[in-house]
Amino acid sequence: MDATQAALLAKVQPAELYEQPLVTNNRDFNWVTDKICRIVETKTPTWWWICMAVALMTASFTGLGLLWLVSTGVGVWGLANPINWGWAIVNFVFWIGIGHAGTLISAVLCLLKQGWRTSINRAAEAMTIFAVVCAGIFPLFHVGRVWYAWWLFPIPNSNVIWPQFRSPLEWDVFAVSTYGTVSVLFWYMGMIPDLGVLRDRAVQRLNKGVYEGGGAIANKLAEGMDLFRKNFYAILAMGWRNAGNHWRNYEMAYLVLAGLSTPLVLSVHTIVSFDFALAVLPGWHTTIFPPYFVAGAIFSGFGMVLTLMLPLRALYGLHDLITQRHIDNMCKICLGTGSIVGYAYIMEFFIAWYGANPYESFAFINRAFGQYWWAYVMMFSCNVFTPQLFWFKKVRANAALVWIMSIFINVGMWFERFVITVTSLANDFLPSSWGYYSPTMVDILTFFGTFGLFSVLFLLFLRFLPLMPIAEVKFVMPQADPHGHHGDQKGGQH
């Protein structure tokens, strides 16, 4: 900086740009490693066992429901003419939608260089994969004879027939299986360096022999656990040595995967929306469906991330890693996508009137004021009014309130899928074929059980895998950039 510039700066006195750091309280690198690793290394907390027991019990409902269905037939669900798509499709779209936040955070926000993604992306990706697992159950068992489900894939067979390639349901098979595969790859590959860290820490403890303090049995047990960790993480880390070329390949592969999965964020729910939009039913046959579904999916996905991350932050004391800035950003994404969804609801009504098609107009008036008006009220109030509260900083700063609202968002998004699926089928062109749909006990058991299944998988993830990408969190710390502007202003000891 020469003298002229210095003089100019002194004269202008530029305002200091304050950016809230992504890791607060001036933590050092070692603290981050320790914090994240200790989640899986310390003794299993009591709340984990309680949650696991409850989750397993709830998950058994799904098992029971599916057993009932397979041994009896699809008739045990509440599906009947004219409503042949009921909760099964509602639940499928609901879970798949939740899965969308994972890819958005890991791929789109990665390409956009959003530093705040780092402390939530691992958990969001895990959530995505487990949500896809839950989603897949419903169409899989809806086929009826689930042992023939492999016919969904184009495999040459002695019947010389192929799946119906013109059907969006078949596109779903490819969209969802691609999405599941890429999400698993992304998740696993991102974990490799952290698995290496966990392995090395176990090896270090074993070499030092730090098993003292407890009784003889407790010490032996701790050593045995570390032996297990050493081998378990060594297998999963696939020989990761933290070498320069490992990191170079890793970064490149991560970027390539991010590029590959970015279109998937848009394509999967677009294709899911085609299940409806390509039919000629009033209320389904609209071009607004793809963008509206994608926005809704991201909306519900971020709702679920908030639902999961806020309790975790409190339970594990992660306030320095998941800061108010993270919560603010997630709330703002909910606000943005929730507003798009609200706009779509209103625009659908406008087009129904503007299009001057009596069936279309009826479909929408029937949605709001017909036999399922209560579902519409639930949907509209949860999805349109709830996120609007996120305009207020005070609301966003109240973690308990944000958590409750995130649950409202997902309740509302479930009702959205219910309204779309059921109202259009129940009252279509011919009044003589109208009907009313109610779920059966089996529907209810199967659906609520999936929350248990999801929780079981997520709890296992918490206990055995690194919750956050350690290295990536370190990249975005003020200390990682000691010579930069922020480092000068308020960076830690470097």
**How many angstroms separate the CA atoms of 427 and 363, rounded?**
7
Pick the closer one to other proteins by CB: 234 or 379.
Answer: 234
Q: Which of 239, 243, 244, 432 binds other proteins (CB under 8 A)?
A: 239
- Does residue 82 have a cis bond before it (omega within 30 degrees)? yes
Size of the site for other proteins (CB under 8 A): 14
Residues whose CB is less than 8 angstroms from the CB of residue 270 and which lie 6 or more positions away in sequence, other chains included: 290, 293, 294
Q: Kindly report the CA angle at 488 between 486 and 493, in degrees rounded to 5?
A: 100
Q: Which residue stretch of 71-79, 107-115, 156-164, 431-439 sits at the interface with other proteins (rule: CB under 8 A)?
A: 156-164
Residues whose CB is less than 8 angstroms from the CB of residue 262 and which lie 6 or more positions away in sequence, other chains included: 103, 107, 108, 111
Is residue 203 a contact residue for other proteins (CB under 8 A)? Answer: yes
Q: Measured from the CB of residue 165, what is the shortest distance to other proteins in angstroms?
A: 15
Pick the closer one to other proteins by CB: 239 or 244.
Answer: 239
Pick the closer one to other proteins by CB: 18 or 147.
Answer: 147
Pick the closer one to other proteins by CB: 194 or 360.
Answer: 194
Is residue 159 a contact residue for other proteins (CB under 8 A)? Answer: yes
Pick the closer one to other proteins by CB: 156 or 431.
Answer: 156
Q: Which of 101, 198, 234, 308 binds other proteins (CB under 8 A)?
A: 234
- H or E stretch including 73? none
What backbone phi and psi angles, to 5 degrees, belong to 80?
A: -160, 155
**DSSP helix/strand/coil, 83:** strand
Q: Which of 20, 181, 231, 388 binds other proteins (CB under 8 A)?
A: 231
Is residue 27 a contact residue for other proteins (CB under 8 A)? Answer: no
Residues whose CB is less than 8 angstroms from the CB of residue 450 and which lie 6 or more positions away in sequence, other chains included: 59, 62, 91, 95, 134, 137
Is residue 243 a contact residue for other proteins (CB under 8 A)? Answer: no
Q: Kindly report the CA angle at 385 between 305 and 311, in degrees rounded to 5?
A: 25
**DSSP helix/strand/coil, 80:** strand
DSSP calls for 339-380: HHHHHHHHHHHHHHHHTT-HHHHHHHHHHHHSTTHHHHHHHH
**How many angstroms separate the CA atoms of 419 and 437, rounded?**
11
Q: Measured from the CB of residue 169, what is the shortest distance to other proteins in angstroms?
A: 15
Is residue 161 a contact residue for other proteins (CB under 8 A)? Answer: yes
H helices then E strands: how many in the chain?
A: 21, 0
Task: Look up tokens 């981050």; give the residue.
Answer: 32
Q: Measured from the CB of residue 184, what is the shortest distance to other proteins in angstroms?
A: 17
Q: Measured from the CB of residue 146, what is the shortest distance to other proteins in angstroms?
A: 19
Pick the closer one to other proteins by CB: 238 or 377.
Answer: 238
Is residue 230 a contact residue for other proteins (CB under 8 A)? Answer: yes
Q: Measured from the CB of residue 202, what is the shortest distance to other proteins in angstroms?
A: 9
Is residue 194 a contact residue for other proteins (CB under 8 A)? Answer: no
User: Which residues lie near other proteins (CB under 8 A)?
Assistant: 157-161, 199-200, 203-204, 230-231, 234, 238-239
